A and B are shown apart, each in its own frame.
Chain A
Amino acid sequence: MRGPVLTIARQELRIAGTNRLAMLLSGIFLGMVLISGFIGWASHHTVTSVYGEALREGAASGPNPFSTQQPLDLIRNTVIYTILIGALSAILVGVQSAMHDRKAGVVDLLFSRPVTTRQYVAGKFLGMQYLLALILAAAGLLSWGTALFIRGAMLSPADTGALAAFFLLAWLFLVPFNMLGFIFGAGSRRETSALLAPILVWVLLVFVLPQLGTAAHPVSLLNPVPAQPASQGSFFAFNHRILQPVSPADRFKGASAGLLGFSPGGKHFETFDWTTLAIIAAAGFIAALLLIRSGRMRKPVRE
């Protein structure tokens, strides 16, 4: 006999297909992951072609400094797609998961069964994480296949492991955004505010928070590398020291750069970044357990 947590998780997967907007965004994310490899290959190809041209014209000498590109450098843009499209998909999955039950009007029936609010949240969490894991596993397979297609050779076991670790890291990064969407979906009176509020928080975390510590390099926000400290100004330097360690986007970029091998320090494991993301993910789940109230969910949703 299956317990209520697993039953709710299974039901979550069953109804996931009806969440069209979240599925569409997830599809776009997978498409961008697929394209990411070709963008990586095209940019590398352009740079090496230009360098080859420069060599022929005598404008440069020596071996091509770009020829030692790490195989996983090809998918570096996936880091940004995860932060942008992946996080939005995770928010939508969370909002729609709670909204689906509220709009279907089944909340009273659910909580007239021997199910506690925490079991309900845990079941929903499990179902949504399974769904996110499926999407990220598909993204991982696409990335692996793209690398094989472009390079004409399979990734080494070490690189395959690093790729898998990157998508595990991406899952850790997406969990709090997913929980954010779920919390607002469960508590908001209006569907529009349930969608807009977590998106506002996402904007603050991904764009404003890194900016507060690095006003000198705003362009780095859309680069798959962590924001650099401000070159001048004690305000930004102070913010950088305080805020950057807890900035999920920067921690994700830092750990990704280490895993995929495009950080200045080459391939390495960023323990601090991984730990921070794991703590933020756990905090997201705990917040959902503590903040979601069945009484609030019973209130009707206004369109």
Chain B
Amino acid sequence: MSTSSIIHTSDLCMRYGSNLALKNVNLAIAAGEIFGLLGHNGAGKTTTVSIITTLLAPSSGRAEVCGLDTLRDSRNVRRRIGYLPENVELYDSLTLKENLLYFARLSGVAEPQKRIAGVLDFLDFTTHENEKLGTFSKGMRQRAGIAQAILHRPRVLFLDEPTSGLDPQGVITLRQNIKSLNEELGMTIFMNTHSLAEVTKTCTSIGILRNGELLYHDSLKQTMAAFPDQASLEDVYLRIDADGR
């Protein structure tokens, strides 16, 4: 394992019955990166995130976050990560503040009220704290999800398809939030996405999964330099995917 990598997987495999969803995935992501994991539907992106966030146990191989094994030391891994699922589901019958209080307490945050106020201020979301989640739009739910995920100041934030279903303004706000979290709070971001445009605007490094295999992993700069004949990341992605490189 690279000493500077904050997320590391070695020979990660996941089998669902006879279907091998992940095949020997080896990843090393350095602290401070915004990493985008790309791939078709069913490529294994969500499975990868589920294993690294301790929600799933791999069939074989191992994953580490901050040097901690996700299986043997899952509780300490969870203290260091935040997770935003594709569809943010919180308690609709409770207000944003009540939801956040619950998750702050579960995360062992000292002075949760103060922390919630700080996080909502950071996300420019204070005006909605006493509104019930059931009344929130998709974009607002996404921001509520981010608030929940960063309450305990995690070192790594996992986002599963964060822009899925958002309107353009929602995408812009989310992008700003992600960049602020990375630049101002120093969080490493691991993002699963279909959106190549989003990756181009947000990420510092990318990985490409196809049918459970990691085809490619490098910094965005290096990637674009390595394919000088390709005009955009979309072209690069299609080329790598076609070559199975």
A residues near B (Cβ < 8 Å) are 1-2, 4, 7-8, 11, 14-15, 18, 104-106, 108-116, 294-295, 298
List, sorted by A's number, 19 A–B pairs whose CB atoms are closer than 8 Å: A1-B105, A1-B108, A4-B108, A8-B106, A14-B98, A15-B93, A104-B89, A104-B91, A104-B92, A105-B87, A106-B89, A108-B83, A108-B85, A109-B103, A112-B78, A113-B106, A114-B76, A114-B78, A116-B75
Q: Which residue of B lies closest to A2 (CB)?
A: B105
Q: Which residue of B lies closest to A108 (CB)?
A: B85
**In this complex, which of A2, A15, A114 has the most chain B Cβ atoms within 10 angstroms of its Cβ?**
A114
When chains A and B are docked, how far (Å) is the Cα of A301 from the Cα of B43? 24
Number of interface residues of B (CB under 8 A): 28
How far does the Cβ of B111 sit from chain A's closest Cβ, in whole Å?
9
How far does the Cβ of B49 sit from chain A's closest Cβ, in whole Å?
10
| Chain A neighbourhood of B208, CB < 8 A | none
Q: Which residue of A lies closest to B56 (CB)?
A: A295
Chain A binding surface, main DSSP class: helix
Which of A1, A14, A113, A295 has a CB less than 8 Å from the CB of B94? A14
| Chain A neighbourhood of B85, CB < 8 A | 105, 108-109
| Chain A neighbourhood of B102, CB < 8 A | 7, 11
Contact B89 A298 (CB under 8 A): no
10 tightest CB-CB pairs across the interface, nearest first?
Answer: A105-B89, A112-B83, A7-B105, A113-B106, A114-B78, A114-B75, A114-B79, A108-B85, A18-B93, A113-B107
Q: Which residue of A lies closest to B57 (CB)?
A: A295
> Residue B197 at the A interface, CB < 8 A?
no
Contact B107 A114 (CB under 8 A): yes
| Chain B neighbourhood of A1, CB < 8 A | 105, 108, 110
| Chain B neighbourhood of A2, CB < 8 A | 105
Which of A7, A105, A111, A114 has a CB less than 8 Å from the CB of B55? A111
When chains A and B are docked, how far (Å) is the Cα of A110 from the Cα of B89? 11
Which of B56, B81, B90 has a CB less than 8 Å from the CB of A104? B90
Contact B83 A109 (CB under 8 A): yes
Contact A113 B92 (CB under 8 A): no
Which of A106, A112, A115 has a CB less than 8 Å from the CB of B81? A112
When chains A and B are docked, how far (Å) is the Cα of A18 from the Cα of B132? 14
> Residue B54 at the A interface, CB < 8 A?
yes
When chains A and B are docked, how far (Å) is the Cα of A109 from the Cα of B152? 13
> Residue B9 at the A interface, CB < 8 A?
no
How far does the Cβ of A74 sit from chain B's closest Cβ, in whole Å?
40
Given contacts A11-B102, A14-B98, contact A109 B90 (CB under 8 A): yes
How far does the Cβ of B156 sit from chain A's closest Cβ, in whole Å?
12
How far does the Cβ of A1 sit from chain B's closest Cβ, in whole Å?
6
> Residue B188 at the A interface, CB < 8 A?
no
> Residue B148 at the A interface, CB < 8 A?
yes
| Chain A neighbourhood of B83, CB < 8 A | 108-109, 112
Name the interface residues of B9-31: CB closer than 8 Å to any CB of A. none
| Chain A neighbourhood of B94, CB < 8 A | 14-15
Name the interface residues of B49-68: CB closer than 8 Å to any CB of A. 53-56
| Chain B neighbourhood of A14, CB < 8 A | 94, 98
| Chain B neighbourhood of A105, CB < 8 A | 85, 87, 89
When chains A and B are docked, how far (Å) is the Cα of A84 from the Cα of B93? 31
Q: Which residue of A lies closest to B110 (CB)?
A: A1
| Chain B neighbourhood of A111, CB < 8 A | 54-55
| Chain B neighbourhood of A110, CB < 8 A | 106
Given contacts A108-B55, A108-B85, A109-B85, contact A115 B106 (CB under 8 A): yes
Known A1-B110, A111-B54, A112-B55; further 15 A-B contacts with Cβ < 8 A = A4-B108, A11-B102, A18-B93, A104-B89, A104-B90, A105-B85, A106-B89, A108-B83, A108-B85, A109-B89, A112-B53, A112-B54, A113-B78, A114-B78, A115-B78
| Chain A neighbourhood of B54, CB < 8 A | 111-112
| Chain A neighbourhood of B75, CB < 8 A | 114, 116
Contact A15 B81 (CB under 8 A): no
Q: Which residue of A lies closest to B82 (CB)?
A: A112
Given contacts A108-B55, A295-B56, contact A15 B91 (CB under 8 A): yes
Which of A15, A104, A113, A294 has a CB less than 8 Å from the CB of B103? A113
When chains A and B are docked, how far (Å) is the Cα of A114 from the Cα of B81? 10
Q: Which residue of B lies closest to A3 (CB)?
A: B108
When chains A and B are docked, how far (Å) is the Cα of A112 from the Cα of B160? 13
